Chain A
Amino acid sequence: MKRQLTITTQPIDEALLLRQRSMPAGMGAAVYFLGVVRGTEGNANIRALEYETFQSMAEHQISLLCDELAKRWPIESVRLVHRVGLVQAGEPALWVEVVAPHRGEAFAACQWLIDEMKRVAPIWKKPVPGDQ
């Protein structure tokens, strides 16, 4: 299974990621998820989220998840980009794509990877208050 894991302070360029998509013969499903910073946290408005990571461990843990994902489903490729640092409300913080022969495994693998990443990857976020 091909994998491309990126943790970066740079903005996520969704258009570029879509142009770089590879769909080899036999692949019939590409599922992707875009996680965007909400402008609210509970009842309060926020301006941004400040993400912090223990990057080498986060990369290792996500790589372990990809190993497990490859055992569970016949996946062609996974691409995951997590932005860290200051991310303004309305901007993407997470982009995940799974390419597979069929939609069932693509949806299941994409959801599983995001759920597990949120459970084990050492990444934290702190809200930056906005106008009240």
Chain B
Amino acid sequence: MRVVVCFYSYFKDLTGCSRVTETLPDGSTLEDLLDQLVIRFPKLASMRKSTLMAVGVDYQDRSYVLKTDDEVSLFPPVQGG
């Protein structure tokens, strides 16, 4: 299963990119995806607890089961206003 992952704010600096494609086994969750991303981008590890994750335009728990072609976004705590 392939999913697209987008990074925002300083997560783009931590990963050196704004968008990647990841391949995971069927039934994988957002937590599994995060495990894989931390191996690929070790600088994300320090932000792991505070990382926010969305699928499409909705926040999702890390237990969310991914589907093919999901667009996942990872970003730090928000701070608008």
Cβ-defined partner of A52 (8 Å) among B8, B52, B59: B8
Judge if B57 is at the interface, Cβ distance under 8 Å.
yes
* 0/1 string, B1-36, CB within 8 A of A gives 1: 000001011100000000000000000000000000
Which residues 103-129 of A sit at the B interface, judged by CB distance below 8 A?
Answer: 114, 117-126
* Contact assessment for B59 and A118 in the assembled complex, using a CB-CB cutoff below 8 Å: no
Q: How far is the CA of A60 from the CA of B57 in the complex (A)?
A: 7
Cβ-defined partner of B58 (8 Å) among A60, A82, A94: A60
Q: How far is the CA of A100 from the CA of B58 in the complex (A)?
A: 29
How many residues from A make CB contacts under 8 Å with B?
24
* 0/1 string, A41-71, CB within 8 A of B gives 1: 0000000000111101110110000000000
Judge if A35 is at the interface, Cβ distance under 8 Å.
yes
Chain A residue with minimal CB distance to B80? A123
Q: How far is the CA of A121 from the CA of B81 in the complex (A)?
A: 10
Q: How far is the CA of A125 from the CA of B9 in the complex (A)?
A: 8
8 shortest A-B CB distances, which residue pairs? A123-B80, A60-B57, A124-B9, A57-B57, A118-B81, A121-B80, A94-B81, A122-B78
6 residue pairs A–B, Cβ–Cβ below 8 Å: A51-B80, A52-B8, A53-B80, A54-B75, A120-B59, A120-B78
B: residues with CB less than 8 A from A are 6, 8-10, 52, 54, 56-59, 73, 75-76, 78-81
A: residues with CB less than 8 A from B are 35, 51-54, 56-58, 60-61, 82, 93-94, 114, 117-126
